[in-house]
């Protein structure tokens, strides 16, 4: 397993969160992949190698001006580069035997031999390069004598190096797992929000459809053939428009108004001269994005509670305006108004649907009120962020 980020490639892969599987069952990369991972490690370990070589060069130059920098590189730089090749192997051991609660003692019994397994080749390389460079100390001290002495001398350095590789690998891994967890959580929240929005929007189709079919049945019983045909035609057009917008959470305001006009045609056929509709729509708002089918349930609510409960004529007003960076939509009626405690007792699907969808889509960036008007009737008012139709609004 490996991270999808090149910078995180040395990190220990996570057993809990996986992005993709290695191509081979053994977990070994192809030569090309191995080379891509090795090159950054060589560059990283070159930093302490150059520092150590420079330090050795300037220190020795003070005593021997003829000391070449190439000799310092040979003796100091290459031993540090050894750890570039050892790092993936150390991380592999760390991946298999992790220092975690409940497993650290067992892992320690593996890491101690592994520690010596990586430090001994390093000391062999140091000794070989020292002899190759003609250093008197390495020439005068054969390997059997050199190895135990250097094991003690370099033990702290080797321990810090081995432990540092493991620690950095674990840190990068936990960071990657944290970011992956954040991404997974964000994706889950987005999918949940979309599922909730789809469920809310899906409620609207059968809701107004059943009401309309009920109205058609009334006209059929009255033997109003022309009215029945007009309403059936209108329902057919509504269904076509609804199906065309399936999966769209936002539409331009003019599309939502077109849908609303088809719905009002049906309602005016049902109520005839009793339903009067006025419109005050600012042309500048027609291209603004609004939630799909956001006005229809409010108009239906106005007709149901403002007109259907009385014998006389009723009036419904539609308003749309822009106030700075806000889009203001209003639906008003001149009916009897809201009774005390209406919100707790009514159980109105349309209003509850509008509230829930606005919260899901805009969070705190929206407001919705439904209140009695001083002159009589009810006003439904919503304020949304003004967004041109070219920009799709994200879910909150």
Is residue 15 over pLDDT 60? Answer: no
- Give the whole-angstrom CA distance, residue 297 versus residue 354: 8
Mean pLDDT of 197-222: 67
Mean pLDDT of 166-177: 84
What SS3 state is found at 381?
strand
Tokens read off for 337: 């108004």
Beta strand pairing status for 289-291 and 250-252?
Answer: antiparallel
What pLDDT does 169 receive? 82
Over the stretch 87-135, which tens digit does the pLDDT of each residue have?
A: 888 888 888 788 777 777 778 888 888 888 888 888 888 888 888 877 7
Sequence-distant (≥ 6) Cβ neighbours of residue 144 within 8 angstroms: none
For residue 115, which of 158, 152, 144 has the smallest C-alpha distance? 158
Q: How confident is the model at residue 387 (pLDDT cuts 50, 70, 90)?
A: very high
Is residue 395 over pLDDT 50? Answer: no
For residue 75, which of 131, 141, 150, 140 has the smallest C-alpha distance? 131
The answer to whether 118 touches 89, Cβ cutoff 8 Å, is yes
Based on its alpha-carbon atoms, the radius of gyration of the chain, rounded to whole angstroms, reads 38
Q: How confident is the model at residue 174 (pLDDT cuts 50, 70, 90)?
A: confident
**What are the structural domain ranges in the chain?**
6-153, 190-385
- Give the whole-angstrom CA distance, residue 115 versus residue 328: 69
What SS3 state is found at 339?
coil
Is residue 202 over pLDDT 60? Answer: no
Ordered strands of the 378-385 beta sheet:
275-281, 314-323, 326-333, 378-385, 367-372
Give 174-178 contacts, CB < 8 A, sequence gap 24+: 175/8, 175/11, 176/3, 176/5, 176/8, 176/11, 176/14, 177/14, 177/16, 177/17
- Give the whole-angstrom CA distance, residue 195 versus residue 249: 11
pTM of the model as a whole: 0.48
Q: How confident is the model at residue 320 (pLDDT cuts 50, 70, 90)?
A: very high
Hunting for tokens 């749309």 — which residue is that?
A: 320
Over the stretch 349-372, which tens digit does the pLDDT of each residue have?
A: 678 878 888 888 888 999 999 999
Q: What are phi and psi of 328, to 5 degrees?
A: -110, 125
Q: How confident is the model at residue 12 (pLDDT cuts 50, 70, 90)?
A: very low
What pLDDT does 339 receive? 79
Over the stretch 30-88, which tens digit does the pLDDT of each residue have?
A: 566 666 777 888 888 888 888 888 887 888 777 878 878 888 888 888 888 888 888 88
What pLDDT does 17 receive? 35
- Give the whole-angstrom CA distance, residue 235 versus residue 216: 10
CB atoms inside a 10 Å sphere around CB 207: 17
Q: Which fold has domain 190-385?
A: Heat Shock Protein 90 (3.30.565)
What pLDDT does 190 receive? 65
């Amino acid at each position: 397993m490996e991270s999808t980020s090149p910078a995180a490639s040395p990190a220990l892969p996570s057993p809990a969160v996986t992005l993709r599987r290695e191509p081979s069952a053994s977990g070994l990369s192809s030569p090309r992949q191995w080379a891509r991972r090795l090159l950054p490690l060589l560059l990283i370990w070159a930093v302490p190698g150059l520092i150590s070589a420079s330090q050795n060069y300037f220190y020795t130059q003070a005593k021997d001006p003829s000391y070449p920098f190439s000799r310092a590189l040979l003796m100091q730089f290459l031993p540090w580069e050894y750890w570039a090749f050892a790092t993936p192997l150390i991380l592999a051991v760390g991946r298999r035997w992790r220092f975690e609660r409940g497993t650290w003692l067992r892992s320690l019994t593996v890491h101690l031999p592994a520690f010596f397994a990586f430090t001994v080749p390093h000391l062999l390389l140091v000794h070989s390069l020292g002899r190759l460079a003609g250093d008197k100390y390495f020439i005068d001290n054969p390997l059997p004598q050199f190895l135990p002495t250097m094991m003690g001398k370099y033990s702290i350095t080797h321990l810090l190096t081995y432990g540092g590789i493991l620690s950095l690998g674990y840190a990068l891994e936990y960071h990657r797992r944290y970011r992956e967890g954040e991404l997974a959580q964000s994706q889950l929240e987005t999918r949940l929000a979309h599922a909730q929005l789809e469920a809310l929007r899906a409620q609207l189709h059968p809701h107004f459809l059943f009401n309309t079919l009920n109205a058609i049945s009334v006209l059929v019983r009255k033997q109003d053939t022309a009215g029945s045909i007009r309403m059936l035609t209108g329902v057919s057009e509504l269904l076509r428009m609804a199906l065309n917008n399936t999966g769209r959470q936002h539409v331009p305001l003019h599309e939502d108004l077109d849908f609303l006009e088809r719905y009002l045609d049906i309602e005016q056929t049902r109520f005839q001269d009793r339903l009067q509709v006025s419109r005050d729509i600012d042309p500048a708002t027609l291209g603004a994005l609004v939630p799909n089918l956001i006005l229809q349930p409010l108009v239906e609510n106005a007709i149901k509670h403002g007109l259907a409960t009385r014998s006389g004529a009723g009036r419904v007003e539609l308003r749309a305006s822009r106030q700075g960076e806000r889009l203001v939509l209003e639906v008003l009626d001149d009916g009897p108004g809201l009774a005390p405690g209406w919100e707790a007792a009514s159980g109105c699907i349309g209003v509850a649907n509008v509230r829930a969808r606005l919260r899901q889509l805009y969070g705190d960036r929206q407001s919705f009120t439904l209140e009695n008007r001083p002159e009589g009737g009810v006003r439904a008012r919503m304020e949304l962020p003004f967004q041109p139709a070219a920009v799709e609004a994200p879910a909150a």
